[in-house]
Amino acid sequence: MNRVRQLSAAGLLGIVMIFELSAFALLSLRDESFDLMSLAFGIGLVAVLLIQYIVMQWISRYADRFILVIANLLAAIGMIVQYRLSPDIAIKQLVWFCIGMVCMVMCTLLMRAKRFFRSINIPLMILSIGILAVLLVVGKENGGAKNWIIVGGISFQPSEFVKVALVFIMANHFTVIERTWDWLPSAIFAIIVAALLVMERDLGAALLICGTYLIVFYVATGKTGTTLIGLGAGAIGAVASYHLFDHVKARVAIWMNPWATYSTSGYQVAQGLMAIASGGVMGLGLTKGMPKSIPAYNTDYIFAVICEEFGIIFGIAVIALYLVFIIRGALIALNARTRYLMLVAFGCTVLITLQSFIIIGGVIKLIPLTGITLPFVSYGGSSMIATMMLLGILEGVAIQNGEMLEDAMDEASEEYILQ
Amino acid sequence: MRADIYSLTVSVMRYFFVAAIIYILIRIVYHSINEYNELRRVKDWIEKGYAKHIEFLPPYDTNENGFILVKTNLIGRSRKCDICIDDKSVKRKHAIIFEKRGDVFIKRKGLARIKINGEQMTNRLEELLDGDLVQLGRVKFYYRVKRTSFREEAEHE
Amino acid sequence: MKKDSSRKHIKAMLALFCAMFVVLSVYLGYIVSAYGNRWFSSPYNTRVTSQKNSIAAGMLLDRTGLRLAHTDSDGQRQYVGVKELRRSMCHVIGDVYGQTIGAESMFAKYLLGFDQGLADEFEQLIGTQQRVGSTVLLTVDADLCEYAYDLMDDYWGSVVLINYKTGEILASVSQPTFDPNYMEDYISGDKELAASAMVNRTTMGRYTPGSTFKIVTLIAALRYIPDIQTRTFNCEGALVFDRESGKYLPDVHVNDEDFIKNDNDDDIDYDREQEGAEDVSAEPAASEIYSIVRDYHSEYHGEIDVFKAFASSCNTTFARLAMEIGPNRLAKVAKELGIGDEFLFDDVMLYSSSFEKGDTELNVAWSGVGQYKDIMTPMQTCMLTAAIANNGTMMEPRLLYKVADSNNKVKYTAPSSQYKTVLTAAEAEFVKEAMLQVVDSGTGTRAAVDGLTVGGKTGTAEISSDKSVKTHAWFTGFILEEEHPLAVTVVLEQAGGGGSYAAPLAGKLLSKAVKLGY
């Protein structure tokens, strides 16, 4: 029995725990009276981290521990900021995080059922399009986008789950490419989904879906020409939407100069920039900033809040954490046993990459702002659960990679002993 | 006054938070790089039949014969060791075999006794060459670079 | 081998992702270092206002240590007691209500203690008094500001004096002024204020530069006309252009008198004092067919070299030079000299100047002598003059001198930094020589300072085709001697000729500054 040697992550877990607990200890002293709640919340969060880690290790020793820790750390940073802003929201977020964890474990286990996701390909497609079409009629508007639906008192955002479905649909259609018909359905699916999202004015999600589809398409087929045509079509679509929709025009104008329209549409971006500038290199200190002056401070603009209170270095470290997550995700895809698994893992990675890039870039005014959540960090039940599902899928692929390697090693050494 | 102390604490903690996240980041990157390198070695071994490994002579040639060497390998009786030998004559931490720029070295731990090709090792460090017979206490093993070298030897005999 | 190619593409995409995230980090660092201070100081930033509740803003001093502003025991911001001083310094000081951009907002970071480290915080925790922000020393000298304010009399405009070696702003006055003590009343409307009194004309006043812009044309000529130093020019009459197409007509000569009489002339001409009675003739007058470029006071200089042309501010010569250089090269040189740059200085919020290419020969000619659509701020003109005096290196203008803690121990001295090199040493030498002649024997003789060598350039800027509106008077100059590295720019709105109004003021201010030891 050969085993791939792994370094211990215990020290890493320890420092993550100290980080989380000290932040909550600091928050518990914020008011005159000692806030026991905060400390309890911190301990709860650490417990969740440990449970998550142990469960994943119990499932398989080849579960990628580092992306798990990164995801957990990012979620913890998110919840520290949420708790500092409003404890109620943070508690809800923790509940969502726990639910997300269950979904993650389920996804990981389902990945072992090798043909499960391939067999539900068509239902997934119909369901995704159906729910988005229904949304067009009954959806609730929130912040300009009509992308919410309320089922049994709980509001959720179906577009988040459509992203997860997209990963499987793409992987299924790209696994074997001999004729155009093999991949065309997925392209039609992506276009319909993107069109529905644009109609619901959820531009961020539409951009994300199109971008992910194009990148995975390029990787899977290697058709540079078709990809460029797709890119061109996307660019034409972007230009067309610039001329068609006033809100797109407004977004671009804000991006060019948020200060010109400070009192109206530029307010959010300008406030975000001021928050980042006020934070400076080391930040103002937890609880010392004024993040509540930024609209959407606990969802889209949470990165500005992090920069304000923890500083630019911390902000860059968060970006680096995402980058490490992405690199590890891509490595999992590269090591994958089958082409299908490779495409699934890569799809998940691309989604998280583009999502974090689009929103961080929007907040720091590198690209025009489109409202989507920052994976793992922003408040939002659907977003948290969907992102945790992506994480679970990646872990599922990683586990299969490790087991495959172990098998191969055993096989090879057996062959060599038999000699 | 209390508010002032709190404010000062917050200011101090800023440095801690930044230091902590940078430490976490560096550690994750370091671990990732290590893990990546080891995976590559293992894959090399599988694909090309090429790996630096050690093989124990009887009576220790159990099923676990042929340990593939990673970057650093602690050998000893302790369960914490990377290569664990259950024999009284071996110290809890007996030796370290490590690789540096492609060359493999063996390093004694403390006053442990090691023989290489029957000769007592006097230096703290010794380079291992393909086919060297290393003896820790009563336990003997060969250091090999290629799997195929073993096959060829077997054929000769 | 589909599989392998996919893996290769994944690697390529991974590289792309890495690049994207590196760009994110670098851009985040970049925007904070480049714009951070400006965004932070933004009057919209509520964090600054809220900090005022927990900390008393620090003192604001001039470079000699004179207290310009402090926070009294009731937490009220108090300004220097002498009214003239207060008024002369108002634009430099700014206000705490976000109405103007001055030291109060630009240096809020220091004044409100955002720069204080752990040690400061700890020290103030032990002491019982309220937390106080850092003390900020400005580079300006209050005496010089007050003196410049007196000299300006009631003219609106701007005076700025900088040290051309370090970029320190020694004096900066902008009229009209406001009284910082009554800011609340201005906001509530209890006290009246001139409409533009809160605009700091030194940095935000976008003026037509008039003949001071010939410095730019001269530099362009030096770069693109090889024999400029030896060539002679014949200035014998106005240059005539076709009125419709703006084409230069070298063979046409007109009588100046026709143009003087024409009141409806919507092109610009320099002569105001000979403004005569209206006389509409039946047949189309020359002024309806032609437009002309000619000289101040309709003087003609005959055979002159470029130095003489510069010293006597000969419009015809420079209009010809501008046409010869061409609009594209002229625009290129203007850009190289920093005209049109967006400045991101830490200490001053400087609006950008602009130069637009003339579309017709007439407009090119006018743009070469500082009319058409040329726009310069007084500060930028002063920076350009300073760069010439400083052998071609433009320094970043600085207002922050030192920062001290509440015990008056200096903890930070602002370093001087180069903005960019705009001229070679040889070019600077040439322009310096030309500018020295202006004060020695040209239009700027009244700017001379006893015992020192002064160089400069006058300007008289047309601002309206309405002849009853007087011109803006400009003077920009420097002291050659390196012991007194001073550059000054004066703009007096609607005062008249630059040589007779702005130059004497500049001369007096320079000699005062020299007396004070700068």
Cis peptide before C176 (omega within 30 of 0): yes
**Prediction ipTM score:** 0.92
- Give the number of other CB atoms < 10 A from CB of residue C97: 16
Residue C257 reports pLDDT greater than 70: no
Residue whose pair of structure tokens reads 């965004």 in the numeric block:
C39
Q: Using CA coordinates, name the residue in chain B closest to C124.
A: B4
Residue C131 reports pLDDT greater than 80: no
Residue C220 reports pLDDT greater than 70: yes
Cis peptide before B59 (omega within 30 of 0): yes
- Note the maximum CA span of chain B: 86
Per-residue pLDDT band for C468 (boundaries 50, 70, 90) equals confident
Task: Identify the three-state secondary structure at position C306.
Answer: helix
C121 neighbourhood in chain B, CB within 8 Å: 7-8, 11
Check if the beta carbon of residue C155 is closer than 8 Å to that of residue C175: yes
Give whichever of A15-19, A156-160, B122-126 has the largest mean pLDDT: A15-19
Query: Does B7 contact A321 at a Cβ distance shorter than 8 Å?
Result: no
Six-digit token pair at C358?
């003339």
Residue C416 reports pLDDT greater than 50: yes
C138: left (phi over 0), alpha (psi -120 to 50) or beta: beta
B1 neighbourhood in chain C, CB within 8 Å: 125
A156: left (phi over 0), alpha (psi -120 to 50) or beta: beta
Q: How far is C307 from chain A (nearest CA, A)?
A: 45
Q: Which residues contact B90 (CB under 8 A, 6 or more apart)?
A: B75, B76, B77, B136, B137, B138, B139
CA angle C317, C318, C323 (to 5 degrees): 100
- Give the number of other CB atoms < 10 A from CB of residue C105: 24
Q: Which residue has the higher pLDDT, C182 or C130?
A: C182
Q: Which residue has the higher pLDDT, C290 or B96?
A: B96
Q: What percent of chain C has pLDDT over 90?
A: 15
Per-residue pLDDT band for A375 (boundaries 50, 70, 90) equals very high
Average pLDDT over residues A133-158: 75
Q: What percent of chain A has pLDDT over 70?
A: 95
B32 neighbourhood in chain A, CB within 8 Å: 66, 324, 327-328
Q: How remote is the C-alpha of A2 from its chain's centroid?
A: 35
What was the pLDDT predicted at A386?
Answer: 94
Binding-site residues on chain B for chain A (CB distance < 8 A): 2, 6-7, 9-11, 13-18, 20-25, 27-29, 31-32, 34-36, 38-39, 42-43, 45-46, 49, 63-66, 68, 70, 82, 147, 150-151, 154
Per-residue pLDDT band for B146 (boundaries 50, 70, 90) equals low
Check if the beta carbon of residue A275 is closer than 8 Å to that of residue A308: yes
The dihedral through the CA atoms of B44, B47, B48, B54 has a sign that is positive
Chain mean pLDDT for chain C: 82
Check if the beta carbon of residue A159 is closer than 8 Å to that of residue A202: yes
Residue A7 reports pLDDT greater than 70: no
Among B20, B36, B63, whose Cβ lies nearest the Cβ of A15? B20
> C268-301: buried (b, 16+ CB within 10 Å) or exposed (e) per residue?
bbbbbeeeeeeeeeeeebbbeebbbbbbbebeeb
Six-digit token pair at C4?
């392998």
What was the pLDDT predicted at C125?
Answer: 66
B10 neighbourhood in chain C, CB within 8 Å: none
The DSSP secondary structure of C183-237, one letter per residue, reads HHHHHHTSS---TTTTS-HHHH--B--GGGGHHHHHHHHHHH-TTTTT-EEEE-S
Among A283, A335, A413, whose Cβ lies nearest the Cβ of B14? A283
A29 neighbourhood in chain B, CB within 8 Å: 6, 9
Q: What percent of chain C has pLDDT over 70?
A: 88
What was the pLDDT predicted at C1?
Answer: 36
What was the pLDDT predicted at C28?
Answer: 93
C113 neighbourhood in chain B, CB within 8 Å: none
Amino acid identity, position A247? H
Residue B149 reports pLDDT greater than 50: no
Average pLDDT over residues B51-61: 71
Q: How far is B35 from chain A (nearest CA, A)?
A: 7
C2 neighbourhood in chain A, CB within 8 Å: 177, 222, 339
A402 Cβ under 8 Å from any chain C Cβ: no
- Residue B53 phi, psi (nearest 5): -150, 170
- Give the number of other CB atoms < 10 A from CB of residue C118: 12
Q: Using CA coordinates, name the residue in chain C closest to B1.
A: C125
Q: Which residue has the higher pLDDT, B26 or C99?
A: B26
pLDDT tens-digit map of B115-125: 888 888 877 88
Average pLDDT over residues C172-199: 83
Q: Using CA coordinates, name the residue in chain C closest to B10.
A: C118
| Closest among A37, A84, A48, A29 to A298, alpha carbons compared | A84
CA distances from C246 to A372, C101, C190, C358 (A): 55, 42, 52, 10
Per-residue pLDDT band for A410 (boundaries 50, 70, 90) equals confident
Query: Does C9 contact A218 at a Cβ distance shorter than 8 Å?
Result: yes
A412 Cβ under 8 Å from any chain C Cβ: no
C7 Cβ under 8 Å from any chain A Cβ: yes
Q: Using CA coordinates, name the residue in chain C closest to A337.
A: C3
DSSP B18: H
Task: Identify the three-state secondary structure at position C494.
Answer: coil
A283 neighbourhood in chain B, CB within 8 Å: 14, 17-18
Using only the alpha carbons of chain C, give its radius of gyration. Answer: 26
- The crossing angle, in degrees rounded to 10, of helices C214-224 and C425-441 is 130
Q: Which residue, among C51, C125, C128, C129, would best test binding to B if mutated, counting the most B CBs under 10 Å from its CB?
A: C125
A330 neighbourhood in chain C, CB within 8 Å: 10-11, 13-14, 17
C119 neighbourhood in chain B, CB within 8 Å: none
What was the pLDDT predicted at A315?
Answer: 94
| Closest among A389, A345, A348, A339 to A182, alpha carbons compared | A339
Residue A379 reports pLDDT greater than 60: yes
Chain mean pLDDT for chain B: 79
What was the pLDDT predicted at B49?
Answer: 65
Q: Using CA coordinates, name the residue in chain A closest to B17.
A: A19
The rounded distance, in Å, linking the Cα atoms of C120 and C134 is 10
Per-residue pLDDT band for A329 (boundaries 50, 70, 90) equals very high
Q: How far is A282 from chain C (nearest CA, A)?
A: 11
What was the pLDDT predicted at C4?
Answer: 59
Residue C425 reports pLDDT greater than 60: yes
Residue B157 reports pLDDT greater than 50: no
Chain A neighbours (≥3 Cβ pairs under 8 A) are B, C
pLDDT tens-digit map of B7-43: 888 888 889 999 999 999 999 999 889 888 888 877 7
Six-digit token pair at A264?
């109206």
Residue B154 reports pLDDT greater than 70: no
Give whichever of A170-174, A312-316, C352-356 has the largest mean pLDDT: A312-316
Among C9, C28, C36, whose Cβ lies nearest the Cβ of A315? C28
The dihedral through the CA atoms of A147, A150, A151, A153 has a sign that is positive
Average pLDDT over residues A284-296: 83
What was the pLDDT predicted at C372?
Answer: 83
Q: How many CB pairs under 8 A join B and C?
A: 13
Six-digit token pair at C370?
């500082």
B23 neighbourhood in chain A, CB within 8 Å: 15
The rounded distance, in Å, linking the Cα atoms of C258 and C235 is 19
The rounded distance, in Å, linking the Cα atoms of C107 and A89 is 37
Residue C129 reports pLDDT greater than 60: yes
Q: Using CA coordinates, name the residue in chain A closest to B63.
A: A1
DSSP C501: I
What was the pLDDT predicted at A419?
Answer: 45
Q: Which residues contact A255 (CB under 8 A, 6 or more apart)?
A: A269, A365, A367, A368, A369
What was the pLDDT predicted at C260?
Answer: 55
A280 Cβ under 8 Å from any chain B Cβ: no
The DSSP secondary structure of A277-343, one letter per residue, reads HHHTTT-S-TTTS-GGGSTTTTTTTHHHHHHHHH-HHHHHHHHHHHHHHHHHHHHHHHH-SSHHHHH
